[in-house]
Amino acid sequence: MNQRLSSLVLVVVALLSTFAGLARAPHRPSPPDPGKALDIINLTMVHDVISPPAAARYYAYTLMGPYCLAAAHNPHLPPLARLVQGFPASIGLDTVAADYDYQLAAYYCMLESARRLLPSGESLAEEEAAFEQEMTRQGVSASTLARSVRAARAAAAAVVRFSQGDHYGQLSALKRYTPLVGEGYWRPTPPAYFEPVEPNWKTIRPLVIDSASEFRPAACAPFSKDTASAFYRGARIVYNVRQHLTPAQNEIAQFWDCNPFAISTAGHMAIGFKKISPGGHWMNIAALVARQRKVGFDNTIAVLCLEGITLMDAFICCWDAKYLTNRIRPETYINRYMDVKWQPLLQTPPFPEYTSGHAVVSQASAELLTYLLGDKIAYVDNTEIPFGSGERKFTSFQQASQEAAISRLYGGIHYLESCTNGTAQGQRIGRFLVAKVRSTGYKP
């Protein structure tokens, strides 16, 4: 009996010791959702009316700090220096050895990076404070939270320093762009006749590709007013599609509009409408499919970071082609040589036509996300609900990319040639980036 009693006492003592250990263990809440932070950043960018190429740049840098924090604790994630040219092997995260929650730090770093980078970023201080309050409510200790915030700020500061070397700060000092003289060149378009967006974007330092001119598209059809010319036939296709647009085509065009600032006029009144950028749309797709695939916090951060990098380099290549060709928009051509009263369905963006930015960045994104998250991935894209459009279902990233590209023809703002050649340009960029990512050994 004494022996049995002694054994029972030992079991009770062991159990009490275990419970005491659990009580002493620091509380760790479930990892936060990076998609939620992305939503907050998206709305801030929409508020700031950030141009498509600049938005892509912000997405890339906003996710680099969080990636570095995750990679410092997850050996499955290769160092960013193995992918991004010139990125330091160490960004001085001397707090890595400290007792902090790197996933909380990575989430906070998304907000902190955007706070430091975006024009109205200071508004995100309230979101940071709300996140800290929520973590405290979930039981995170004050010391762990403070160390996590400190690590997040260190990573954000390091990436902002790196970003300052890409020549973005020198754009305003470059020579002012003047539209070229000639019938076939781009001119500002109604209703607002905005000045051209980022004509010197090719001077921005790329992240993975070597230069803005590395992936130039095939030569476009030369300008011509001859009704038998390839150029005239291309314009006639745009004209005819607009004249006989189906409800399905209209829906596709509206869904992929992604115009950061469209102007609607009624008499002397003009109303501006803000929407998410093309890059923001694809960032949201990456986040929602990563969530659907349940790839986990670290891999979601990696997917978003790599998508941001892809967008930035793709826009650099596309904008190089746009201002190299300075091609006239369909609206200008058709009004001059076909029908003075013709109007596109969508508002013509304020920059040259060739190649289609939607086609380039959508195909580059589709290549990357297919590698990272899989082919034939069915998902429901709800990105545009806050901006006036409904959901659309897709069976793959490739299907979505093809629809995004052709939507610009349906909208009356691109020639078919720009959509098809832009897709080919984006494919080359995307496959190059996939090869670079594959060379690091990374795949979720």
Average pLDDT in the chain: 91
- Alpha carbon distances (Å) from 43 to 48, 66, 105, 107, 321: 9, 19, 21, 17, 29
Long-range contacts of 390-394 (CB under 8 A, 24+ apart): 390/255, 392/255
CA–CA separation, 286 vs 278, rounded Å? 13
pLDDT in tens, 49-73: 999 999 999 999 999 999 999 999 9
Residue 183: pLDDT band (50, 70, 90) is very high
pLDDT of residue 13: 36
16 located within any domain: no
**264 is a domain residue:** yes
442's CB contacts (< 8 A; 6+ apart) are 76, 77, 78, 302
Q: Smallest Cα–Cα separation from 436: which of 118, 214, 179? A: 214
- Do 117 and 51 sit in the same domain of this protein? yes
For residue 389, the model assigns a pLDDT of: 85
Q: How many angstroms separate the CA atoms of 5 and 397, rounded?
A: 66
Number of domains in the chain: 2
Is residue 80 a part of any domain in this protein? yes
Helix/strand/coil for 77: coil
Which pLDDT band holds residue 18 (cuts at 50, 70, 90)?
Answer: very low
Q: Model confidence over 389-413: pLDDT tens digits?
A: 889 999 999 999 999 999 999 999 9
Co-location of 312 and 426 in the same domain: yes
For the cut 90, the answer to whether the pLDDT of residue 280 exceeds it is yes
Q: 9 pLDDT exceeds 50?
A: no
* Cβ(300)–Cβ(291) below 8 Å: yes
One domain, residues 126 and 97: yes
Does some domain include residue 173? no
Q: What six digits make up the tokens of 354?
A: 């060739």
The helix or strand, by DSSP H or E, that contains position 381, with its residue range, turns out to be strand 379-381
Q: Is the residue at 398 inside a domain?
A: yes
Summarize pLDDT for 319-372 with one digit per residue, the tens.
999 999 999 999 999 999 999 999 999 999 999 999 999 999 999 999 999 999
Distance CA 256, CA 239 (A): 19
Report whether pLDDT(425) > 50: yes
Last residue of a domain, one of 168, 197, 213: 168
Does residue 275 share a domain with residue 214?
yes
Quote the CA–CA distance of 132 and 146 in Å, as a whole number.
9
Q: Please tell me the distance from the alpha carbon of residue 255 to that of residue 349, in angstroms, as a whole number.
A: 16
Residue 4 lies in a domain: no
Give yes or no: residues 252 and 390 share one domain: yes
**Are both 199 and 228 inside the same structural domain?**
yes
- Claim to verify: residue 204 and residue 312 sit in the same structural domain: yes
Domain end among 134, 168, 202: 168
Position 23 pLDDT exceeds 70:
no
Question: Going by C-beta distance under 8 Å and a sequence separation of 6 or more, which residues neighbour residue 177?
Answer: 195, 196, 199, 200, 323
Q: Which two tokens stand for residue 156?
A: 């954000």
Instruction: Based on the fold, state whether residues 161 and 251 are members of the same structural domain.
Output: no
Give the up-direction half-sphere exposure of residue 143: CA atoms within 13 A in the CB hemisphere: 4
pLDDT of 387? 83
Structure tokens at 216: 């130039």
CATH number at residue 226: 1.10.606.20
Give yes or no for residue 95 having a pLDDT over 60.
no
In which residue are the tokens 């378009």 written? 189
DSSP state letter for 90: -
User: Do residue 258 and residue 191 come from a single domain?
Assistant: yes
Instruction: Tell whether 79 and 54 lie within a shared domain.
Output: yes
The strand ranges marked E within 223-281 are 261-266, 269-274
* pLDDT attached to residue 21: 38
Query: In this structure, are 83 and 128 located in the same domain?
Result: yes
The boundaries of the domain holding residue 74 are 34-168
Residues 6+ apart with CB under 8 A from 149: 105, 108, 132
Q: What is the pLDDT of residues 115-156, one digit of tens each?
A: 999 999 999 999 999 999 999 999 999 999 999 999 999 999
Give me the pLDDT at residue 11, please. 37
Last residue of a domain, one of 168, 196, 221: 168
Per-residue buried b or exposed e for 316-348, using 16+ beta carbons within 10 Å of the residue's own CB: bbbbbbbbebbbbbbbbbbbeeeeeebebbbbb
Within a domain: 14: no
Determine the pLDDT at residue 432.
98
For residue 2, is it within any domain? no
| Residue 188 shares a structural domain with residue 163 | no
Structure tokens at 396: 């793959």
Sheet strands (E) in 220-297: 261-266, 269-274
